[in-house]
Chains A and B, each alone.
Chain A
Amino acid sequence: MLKFVVRRLLSAIPTLLILIALAFCLIRLAPGGPFDGEKQLPPEIEANLRAAYHLDEPLYRQFGRYMANLARGDFGPSFQYRDFSVTELIRSGFPVSLKLGGLAMLLALLIGVTAGSVAALRQNSLIDHGVMTTAMIGISIPNFVVAPLLILVFAVGLRWLPAGGLGDGSPRHLVLPVIALALPQVAYIARLTRGSMIEVLRSPFIRTARAQGLSMRRIMVLHALKPTLLPVVSYLGPATAAVVTGSVVIEQIFGVPGLGRYFVQGALNRDYTLVMGVVVFYGTLIIVFNFLVDLIYGWLDPRVRP
């Protein structure tokens, strides 16, 4: 087991290195630079800026410098947020995204697995069709429509909840963004659960259990749920990594200070260090979550235990 863990972690290092190199080159290929603005800088000022951020060096030197700093855990200074380092920006943004995304995933998991299981047990019934239709609506409406609608109804109209921001950090501010984030996830998870559950229920060992007269509830909890969750877990890995690193749509519409907008802003503003920071952070999370998925997989399904 330990050997497996170490091997997996070691094998992640070259993946990350190539990832960093790739992102580093891609963002610098984009036309325009971090200092382009509506007000064109006088050439001597721009030259000063480029020198100060070492952008006047050859690319390989810049990359070497970046990697050396990264090895010390320093993502470098942001070009756009000149008073903050990228490390600080990630440190302040990630907890917010993690809280919102984590809650949303938890909510989605609870509702999705329950709804999916119920639908599977009553396959082709009215409940099944109802659940699945609702789930599909959740996938089919873009969240930039759902989110303003939620604000309009619950914040502007009913005045039950705040319209945006995190305010003093009270849970009231989290409700709407968490719901908007969770909605499509509920839909995906419900569909996955239903499909997987139907298959498990058809399998010989469940049929045997039923023939032995075990109660359906007992079968569900003791036998059916674990194998049912396999595809859900493999979906959850990358999906959670994506959700906890923030959603630009949700953050923009609700004015939430998460990480998601940095992927877009960083790329659009050519804030090289910022976008590199979040890309590396995201890549690491993906690798970690996929690793966790494998571990959970092993626990759920003894056949693939490493």
Chain B
Amino acid sequence: MPDGFALPCRLGIVATVLLLTGCGGESDPRSAVGIGGQTGQELAADQTLHVGNYAEPQTLDPHRAEGVPASNILRDLYEGLTSEAPDGAVVPGVAASWEVSADGRVYTFRLRDDARWSNGDPVTAEDFVYGFRRTVNPATLSHYSSILEPIDNAAAIIAGEQPPETLGVEAVDAHTLVIRLTGPTPYLPGLLNHSTTYPVHRRSVEEHGNRFARPGQLIGNGAYRLAEWNVQSHIKLVRNEHYWDDKATTIDTVFYYPIENQDTELKRFRADELDITNDIPYQQLNWIRENLGSDLVVSAYLGSYYFGYNVTRPPFKGNAKLRRALSLAVDRDIITERITNAGEIPAYGWVPPVTGYPPAEPEWAGWTQAERNAEARQLYAQAGYSAERPLTVEILYNTSENHKRTSVAIASMWKETLGVETKLLNQEWKVFLDTRRRKETTEVFRAGWIGDYNDAFSFSQLMHSANEMNHAGYASPAYDALIDSAASEQNTDVRAAILARAEAQLLEDMPIIPVYFYVSKHLVKQWVGGRRPNIMDHHYTKNFYILEH
């Protein structure tokens, strides 16, 4: 992540809504990319991959894990019912195919019968049932179990009101699994490659308890198995010869390095110690373009970078004009072209471009910045402020070079356009979270949100008044009603239209300042093949190969 400590959970799910319906055919990702022959290059003898992975995963227990670094590794160690193609499309995983009931509430999965654990045991529907129940069981202490709340009874089990056995997941036979939902959840197949849905090997979990996820103990069903875990140094995975698709796997060994300092990561990439970096330092972007341009891979990423107003307190409480004025006065083009400059998309709305969703862009998105500034000045005056009586406001952001630069820029724009006196307040991450959540002293705060699944709902639900993450304190009955009705809507087009209306309402009330939609940025050596950028930035080592170099 660009934001240092801030790791907006990039946990991931790609649910390409359109793909959901007909998922029968198997696809071999490699055939699309073409090893060797097509490019005329030979595979390297040493198929070892070195990947920068930002931070040490908190755990490799898929049900208790959270955050991008852990998810990246877990995708290699485990396989869910569904998986993702290199371009992010949802493809069959352990489930070879599935059917959806007419009301969209019951999914029936047929598991492939050649799926094996890394010790050779067969992977059965029972293993999945055990895994799902373990995630929602309060005793497991999963940080992310709430993502399974669309499943029948999940919410009540998580709250400790019902036993885990009542969860709406059932093994009909060894290779048939049924999942019952509380409402139609069109993004479910995408959700099913999230680590909370991975199966775990019951016997080893029961033997080693909550600390089974260590070398020599962890038994997974993914393309790789855990060979070494040297905290703060590296995690080493080697291929799992029991994996059902092992013959199509090329990379033999993969090392994940926890490197938080992007400058260090860049240097290690330049010294050929890394094949893929987790990120790049923004400040050196121009240098990288000039010197490592062909290694730079930038692509759209499912995330929204924004600033929020605390609408529960003055001056922003009940003052939509002022909120609009300040938002209009932010020149997104300058921020995305001069400050971040990696290809971020200027944001005028809240939901990033997702599949099957018509974005609700406000009218002023099409204006020039001069027009926006003129409107901003008018609104600012109408809100009762002037050069003699300027607004004094504080921007709260957490410690990070990028947030600092963006906040400084916004302060400077407000001062220039409106004469607003801005104070910048940088707080250490945990203090920042605490301050922001309390909503007592905060006025304007920095925030970012990365979608959990490729669906507008992952963003829309955040601004619901009941959401813990709604840091602005935005509480609009109209907005809440729209979100609630979308959750139970079966028709995907109608559902998308409802969500778009909600977004339009949000942009009318303007409790946030959308700034830009994220991009993912990596350096990838030319000899790494089989890797394609995708909007969730999810990658599977089994699809990669290393060319002779």
Contact = CB atoms under 8 A, between A and B. Distances in A.
Interface in A18-65: 30-33, 35-45, 48-49, 52
A163 B59 contact: no
B273 A83 contact: no
B434 A32 contact: yes
Contact of A82 (B58, B267, B270): B58
Given A37-B433, A39-B9, A261-B232, A83 B257 contact: no
A156 B263 CA distance: 12
Contacts of A33: 430
Given A31-B430, A44-B138, A269-B430, A39 B59 contact: no
Contact of A156 (B60, B64, B271, B428): B271
Interface residues of A, number: 49
Nearest to B260: A252
B56 interface: yes
B433 A83 contact: no
A177 B433 CA distance: 34
A45 B56 contact: no
Contacts of A30: 430-431
Interface in A147-197: 148, 151-152, 155-156, 159, 162-166
B341 interface: no
Contacts of B430: 30-33, 36, 268-270
A160 B139 CA distance: 52
Nearest to A147: B264
A195 B196 CA distance: 63
A253 interface: yes
A83 B61 contact: yes
Contacts of A298: none
Interface string A219-258: 0000000000000000000000000000000011111111
B143 A45 contact: yes
A258 B232 CA distance: 8
Contacts of B404: none
A165 B145 CA distance: 35
A80 interface: yes
A49 B210 CA distance: 14
B231 A162 contact: no
A36 to B, nearest CB: 5
A242 B59 CA distance: 29
**Which label, helix, strand, loop or mixed, suits the secondary structure of the A interface?**
loop
A41 B143 contact: yes
A78 to B, nearest CB: 9
Interface in B274-314: none
B331 interface: no
Interface string A92-104: 1100000000000
Contacts of A269: 430
Contacts of A44: 138, 158-160
B498 interface: no
Given A148-B267, A268-B429, A81 B231 contact: yes
Interface string B414-429: 0000000000000011
A40 B9 contact: no
B233 A83 contact: no
B273 A165 contact: yes
Given A81-B56, A164-B273, A261-B232, A39 B469 contact: yes
A75 B232 CA distance: 19
Nearest to A85: B211
Contact of A40 (B213, B267, B468): B468
A84 B215 CA distance: 12
B141 interface: yes
Interface string B112-138: 000000000000000000000000001
B16 interface: no
B4 to A, nearest CB: 10
Nearest to A36: B433
Interface in B45-84: 56, 58-61, 64, 66
B157 to A, nearest CB: 11
A33 B429 CA distance: 11
Tell which of A33, A48, A268 has the most Cβ of chain B within 10 Å: A48
Contact of B230 (A92, A148, A254, A261): A92
Nearest to A251: B232
B264 A255 contact: yes
A164 B268 contact: yes
A89 interface: yes
A166 B61 CA distance: 26
A268 B429 CA distance: 7
Given A84-B231, A257-B233, A163 B271 contact: yes
Contacts of A39: 8-9, 66, 143-144, 469
A270 B431 CA distance: 10
Given A52-B141, A257-B230, A156 B434 contact: no
B5 interface: yes
B6 interface: yes
B268 A163 contact: yes
A157 B144 CA distance: 44
Interface string B148-183: 000000000011100000000000000000000000
22 contacts: A31-B431, A32-B433, A32-B434, A36-B433, A36-B434, A38-B6, A38-B7, A39-B8, A39-B143, A43-B468, A48-B160, A83-B59, A83-B229, A93-B232, A152-B267, A155-B267, A156-B267, A165-B273, A253-B261, A255-B259, A257-B233, A261-B232
Given A82-B64, A253-B264, A255-B261, 17 more contacts: A31-B434, A32-B430, A32-B431, A45-B141, A48-B138, A81-B56, A82-B59, A93-B231, A151-B271, A152-B267, A162-B273, A165-B233, A251-B232, A255-B257, A255-B268, A261-B232, A270-B430
Interface of A: 30-33, 35-45, 48-49, 52, 80-84, 89, 92-93, 148, 151-152, 155-156, 159, 162-166, 251-258, 261, 268-270
Interface of B: 5-9, 56, 58-61, 64, 66, 138-139, 141-146, 158-160, 210-211, 213-214, 229-234, 257-261, 263-264, 267-268, 270-271, 273, 428-431, 433-435, 437, 448, 468-469
